[in-house]
């Protein structure tokens, strides 16, 4: 959720510092890595499926993300070798690896419980 990002920037001092460090690392990337990293960052921000409720996990994710692009820039790995042929799929897979608590989890549990309760009623 975009709100979470907002909290990183306005939240605890440590988070703010870590977030600023991350931003500086991305800003320092040479082209084409900078543009690629910023494009993914934008997608992460607007995609609600990214970690929610745990800023530590998000900070970890962002710094790992910066590691990935810095490494690619140093090794001169082509962007397409990093991303593969589907940028969206890569973004989703990357974010999914940081399975913190997500806002959707609550809804998933609710759905599961409702259906399970139905089954219990049928058994009676």
Partner 1 sequence: MGKQTTEMLKGTLEGIVLAILAVSPAYGYEITARLRDEGFSDIAEGTVYALLVRIEQRGLVDVEKVPSEKGPPRKVYTINAQGGAYLEEFWRTWSFLAERIEQLHQRIERTNEEGE
| E strands present in 55-102 | none
Between 60 and 103, name the residue whose CB sits nearer to partner 1. 60
Between 3 and 97, name the residue whose CB sits nearer to partner 1. 97
Shortest approach of partner 1 to residue 71 CB, angstroms? 5
Q: Is 84 in the site for partner 1 (CB under 8 A)?
A: yes
Shortest approach of partner 1 to residue 86 CB, angstroms? 9
Q: Is 17 in the site for partner 1 (CB under 8 A)?
A: no
Please answer whether residues 53 and 103 qualify as being in contact, where contact means their C-beta atoms are separated by less than 8 angstroms: yes
Among 81, 119, 122, 123, binds partner 1 (CB under 8 A): 81
Buried b (16+ CB within 10 A) or exposed e, 29-64: beeebeebbeebbebbeeeeebbbeebebbbebbee
Task: Name the CA dihedral angle for 115, 120, 121, 124, rounded to a multiple of 10 degrees.
Answer: 160
Q: Is 37 in the site for partner 1 (CB under 8 A)?
A: no
Shortest approach of partner 1 to residue 115 CB, angstroms? 25
Please answer whether residues 72 and 82 qualify as being in contact, where contact means their C-beta atoms are separated by less than 8 angstroms: yes
Chain positions contacting partner 1, by CB under 8 A: 64, 66-68, 70-75, 77, 80-85, 90, 93-94, 96-99
């Amino acid at each position: 959720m975009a709100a979470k990002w907002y909290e990183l920037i306005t939240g605890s001092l440590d988070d703010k510092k870590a977030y600023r460090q991350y931003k500086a690392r991305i800003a320092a990337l040479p082209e084409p890595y900078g543009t690629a990293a910023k494009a993914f960052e934008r997608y992460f921000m607007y995609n609600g499926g990214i970690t929610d409720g745990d800023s530590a996990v998000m900070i970890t994710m962002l710094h790992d993300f910066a590691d990935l692009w810095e490494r690619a820039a140093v090794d001169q790995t082509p962007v397409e070798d990093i991303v593969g042929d589907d940028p969206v799929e890569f973004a989703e897979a990357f974010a999914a690896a940081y399975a913190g608590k997500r806002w959707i989890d609550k809804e998933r549990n609710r759905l599961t419980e409702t259906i399970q309760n139905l089954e219990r009623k049928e058994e009676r």
